[in-house]
Amino acid sequence: MGMCGRYTIRRIDMLIRFGAMDEPSFETFDEKRIVPRYNIAPSQPIPVARLNKSGERVIRMVSWGLVPSWTKGTPKSRPINARAETIATSGMFRQAYERRRCLIPADGFYEWQGKTPPKQPMFIHQPDDGLFAFAGLWERWKPDDAADPVDTCTIITTTPNAVMKPIHDRMPVILHERDYDHWLSRDVPGDAVMDLLRPFDGELEAYPVSTLVNKPANDSAALIERID
């Protein structure tokens, strides 16, 4: 499993918090239809905040696992994570890093502690369970000339902070709200946002949870209950 490979969205104030309008196709996280998610997994549709052609921030559902726009035929891989250290030079990510950056709303994520199985799943979140945003990239890909375009995304990872070091050698990049506009702007080149791709310096806490989270089909509040 990649890092970050599972996360949660339990809040219904996402559109207000991210200052985003919802596009016509956006339904899953409509306030009247909200279904809290406790085990979001790769390949599933996830909400991202990005800029539309008019420069407005919008929420759109995209598939988690990036496919570059230039991909021909069946993708050989759909990376769910991109390493901050190589993002500006990687052929897989550099175009999206320059022009198609996005915010991926979340309020917690999982990581597995231990070098050998059985690994212990840990739940990591802010002490107040607040909503935050992973730094992400998105792409638009057409499987063939006759097909509808498919939007995909990936989560950027970096080295761990003090909370994550005992758990894993990587962590997702969590952006501060003050940096959202700077990160999203298409007028800001990649080298001007590289300093944002650092270990999170805000408050996080981690605790062990059940191995129920190991199966993507499990998706309930029981997954984030602390165990002894």
Specify whether 4 is catalytic.
yes
Residue 212 Ramachandran class (φ > 0 left, ψ -120 to 50 alpha, else beta) = alpha
In the set 4, 102, 139, 153, the catalytic residue is 4
Specify whether 203 is catalytic.
no
Q: Please state, in angstroms and rounded to a whole number, the distance separating the CA atoms of residues 92 and 69.
A: 10
In the set 31, 102, 111, 203, the catalytic residue is 111
DSSP state of 101: E
DSSP for 18-85, written as a single string:
TT-EEPTT--TT-TTT---EEEE-TTSEEEEEEE-TTS-EEEEEEEES---TT--SS-S---SEEEGG
DSSP state of 227: -
Q: Please state, in angstroms and rounded to a whole number, the distance separating the CA atoms of residues 166 and 113.
A: 8
The residues assigned a catalytic role are 4, 111
